[in-house]
Structure 1
């Protein structure tokens, strides 16, 4: 009889393509992955893995069994979800991620509420950029991920995920206190055409959004500095090294020497949480979504509307 944990290990290898990454996702050692696979190969009487240079690849038998493993694990997830729903208890382990400003602006409030209201629920959280969070939910490494898109650039989501809006997060422009436009009530993006921009890493979703937005307003951006974390960007602004977009969520307290000014072309990002549709009935998922939405309301955003399927809402 096939062992479920060994099938889970095979599934992780098929999804990640790496023993070390699979081990990290499963929270076990690389030697434990190798041992599980050796036992699974003895169980099925076929070779499932083959060396591929310094890495590994699945054999034909390995790919076939991995396809079955993915379906079996999905059914197990559905069974667990139905059992949790029948019990109605918020318990067990829940794994969450959020991009940095959401982790700072939402997690302290939401996770403290979950701990107080549901002491039998063990929450594990980490910071991940939106794309990595979504991949983690799809792979099953995460139960929930807080992600974002922008009003003019939706974040593509795979089928099989459900999402709920947490808040609409308005963004201003952050300027050095001595900037020529620092005292204005609002500024136009075109007025910043000669400024150096501080942005995210090349190829990141938010960087691509900023380039799209500036160019749509006739501004060919001059990128002076890149930083993944918003407070690093604001620190560079404080040093007089450029300007940046400053969403409201998680930006306070502003560093000394930085002012924010509203943009005439109002821009905002949509912050939402995603999870797998096959886990939709789990009380722990519902409790976490409720706590995150309540935290979003406290920071002044809006979070109207019921959860929606990613295939129809993204």
Structure 2
């Protein structure tokens, strides 16, 4: 009889592509991964891993068994969902990933409501960019992910995930209080063709969106500073180092030397939550989605 936990280890190796990645995903040590794989190889009577430089790769037998492992784990998740649904109790562990402004703007209220209504539910939250958290839900490392895309650039959602809309988040442009356009009531992104921009990290979805949107308006963006946190971006704006996009969700206090103006281009972010479709019936997932929707309705 094949051991389920060892199959989970093999599945994690196949998904992450390395022993260290599998260990991180399973929240165990690399030696624990190696030990589980050694035991699984003894169970099946043939090698499942082979050396590949400093790392490892799956053998043909390893890939074959990994495909079965993924299906077995999915069936186990379906069984867990059905059992939880039959009990009708919101209990157990729930793992949620969310991008930074959702962590500040949505998760505190959501977790407070879940704790009050479902005290036996243990929720663990991780701050991650939408691309990362969505992949983690697909892999099974997270149960839900709060993600975003933009009105003019959508993020593809894998077919195995369900999604629910939470809110549309309007954005402003932040500029130094002494900026020539600071006295206007509304502005367009095209007005900042000659300005320096402060943006998110290169490769992130929001950074790519900003470049895509400005170029669509005939503006070649001059991005001079990169900062992950919105508060850091606003500090740079206050220092007169450029302008930035300032979403309203989770924004918090704005430095006194920063002027915010709404954008006549109707920029907005779509905020939504995703989860594995085979977890649709889990009461804990349904409760968390409901709490997120209620919190989002306050914004």
TM-score (normalizing by structure 1): 0.94
Tell me, in whole angstroms, the C-alpha distance in 1 between the residues paired with 2:130 and 2:58.
29
How many Å apart are 1:255 and its aligned residue? 2.1
CA RMSD of aligned residues (A): 0.8
SS at match of 2:142: coil
Q: Tell me which residue corresponds to 2:270.
A: 270
Q: Tell me which residue corresponds to 2:12.
A: 12
SS at match of 2:47: coil
Tell me, in whole angstroms, the C-alpha distance in 1 between the residues paired with 2:189 and 2:36.
56
- Any stretches of 5+ residues in structure 2 without a counterpart? none
Tell me, in whole angstroms, the C-alpha distance in 2 between the residues paired with 1:252 and 1:36.
46
Q: Tell me which residue corresponds to 1:155.
A: 155
SS at match of 1:255: coil
Q: Tell me which residue corresponds to 1:188.
A: 188
Q: Tell me which residue corresponds to 1:312.
A: none
Superposition map of 1:1-314 within 5 A: 1-299=1-299
SS at match of 2:122: strand
Question: Cα deviations across residues 9-34 of structure 1 (Å, max 9, x unaligned)?
Answer: 00000000111111111111111111
Question: Cα deviations across residues 102-140 of structure 1 (Å, max 9, x unaligned)?
Answer: 111111110111111111100010100010011100000
Question: Cα deviations across residues 67-102 of structure 1 (Å, max 9, x unaligned)?
Answer: 000000000000000111110000000000101011
Tell me, in whole angstroms, the C-alpha distance in 1 between the residues paired with 2:48 and 2:189.
56
SS at match of 1:149: strand
Number of residue pairs aligned between Structure 1 and Structure 2: 299
Tell me, in whole angstroms, the C-alpha distance in 2 between the residues paired with 1:91 and 1:197.
46
Bigger Cα displacement from structure 2, 212-221 vs 126-135: 212-221
Question: Cα deviations across residues 174-216 of structure 1 (Å, max 9, x unaligned)?
Answer: 1111111112110122221111011112222111111111112
TM-score (normalizing by structure 2): 0.98
SS at match of 2:297: helix
- Any stretches of 5+ residues in structure 1 without a counterpart? 300-314
Tell me, in whole angstroms, the C-alpha distance in 2 between the residues paired with 1:190 and 1:291.
38
SS at match of 1:124: strand
